[in-house]
Amino acid sequence: MNRYILSLCLLTLALLLPITAPAEDRPCLNPFSTVDWTFFTDKLEFKGMCLCSTDMGTKIGMKWTVPEPIAFIEVVRKSYDYPCIGTKLADTLKLSGTNNSKHGTKKNVHYIKYPVFGSLNIVLDYLCVDKNTTIDIAPPSELDPRQNDDQLSILFQPEKLLYANPIAQAICFADCISASTWKPLNSLYWCAGCWGALGNVVTNSYGKDPVVESALLATKELDLLHADFQLWKYSDAPDLDYVAQAAQIGAVSDTSCAPKMFGRIVKSQYFLNLAYPTVGKAIAIGDFGIKWSFFKQYPGGEDFIWTVWRVRNCCTGYQFP
């Protein structure tokens, strides 16, 4: 199928399902109206020809850049509360997200793997998208000591102590500017653009701008999952080639043939669109908050759900022999 026909079909779907959703519309139950489908048509791109060596021989075909929604990230106040699917894993009255005086606000973060293309049975066989239909829930932040204790978090990523200084934090201003043009700087991996720093994976926030701070906590979750090698590198990131070279003794593998294990967050391959309590357009990690965060919170609402988009390279074609 021609790319433009595909884009037209999805754009029609997006127009029929506008980017608005009521508060009771749970993203995991209705991904149609809570996912920014226009982002798919905007980022789908033909990149030329490709040649891949596989276990079965050689694949020759076309290289594509394909965006796909892969998960939802919840940032919630109540412990073990999963508003995405409308359930609680524990009957508790504990509100661990209440104000903690000078320490700001404690939130809870949940990563829910949700391969939307596979689950909705709209997978395009010739594109390299996740064809899995299994919904999986990663261990919640309530059970991870690294996300609840600053000292354990630093022990988990001690190299980030090098960036706990005013100079390193000031450099994040460059990432803020670049991210606001949809080009976050992967080399500044301790920065999340205009949203703040990825100094540790603790789920604390200042409590001053809940919408932007929830986006920062969602990014910290992606950072943690990369450090745990649960998320891989699916796209080109030339400014991170030094990491690949160190891990593979000088070779930088082409991710269009196969994804690669990668212990560093690749900010340029992820985009987030707010799915709850209101629905917004997809944004780059670190995008200037004034551009997108207004009117994204109901009075008294402190729970947020983000759709995670991953942009990946892939090679589609014929297998020889």
Specify the range with the lowest mean pLDDT, choosing from 32-36, 96-100, 113-117, 155-159. 96-100
The answer to whether the CB of 283 falls within 8 A of the CB of 292 is yes
- The whole-number pLDDT of residue 6 equals 45
Average pLDDT over residues 45-51: 90
Q: Is 148 left (phi over 0), alpha (psi -120 to 50) or beta?
A: alpha
Q: Where are the domains of the chain?
A: 70-115+130-306
Q: How far apart are CA 159 and CA 58, in angstroms?
A: 40
Region for 287 from its dihedrals, namely left if φ exceeds 0, alpha if ψ lies in -120 to 50, beta otherwise: beta
Eight-class DSSP state of 297? S
The pLDDT-based confidence of 105 (bands split at 50, 70, 90) is confident
Supply 195's token pair: 């949203």
Among the residue ranges 10-14, 67-71, 168-172, 227-231, the one predicted with the least confidence is 10-14
More confident residue, 85 or 136: 136
Tens digit of pLDDT for each residue in 229-258?
999 999 988 878 766 656 554 445 678 888
User: Is the pLDDT confidence value at 209 over 80?
Assistant: yes
Instruction: Give the pLDDT score at 132.
Output: 75
The stretch 141-161 carries a mean pLDDT of 90
Residue 179, token pair as written in the block:
């991210």
User: What's the rounded mean pLDDT across residues 56-66?
Assistant: 86
Instruction: Name the more confident of 289 and 261.
Output: 289
- 3-state DSSP call for residue 203? coil
Has this prediction a pTM greater than 0.75?
yes
CA-to-CA distance for 297 and 53, rounded, in angstroms? 49
Spell out where 211-296 has E strands: 232-233, 260-261, 270-276, 283-284
> Which one is predicted more confidently, 31 or 158?
158
pLDDT (mean) for 191-200 = 94
pLDDT value at position 198?
93
User: Do residues 102 and 123 make contact, with C-beta atoms less than 8 angstroms apart?
Assistant: no
Looking at every residue in the chain, the average pLDDT score rounds to 82
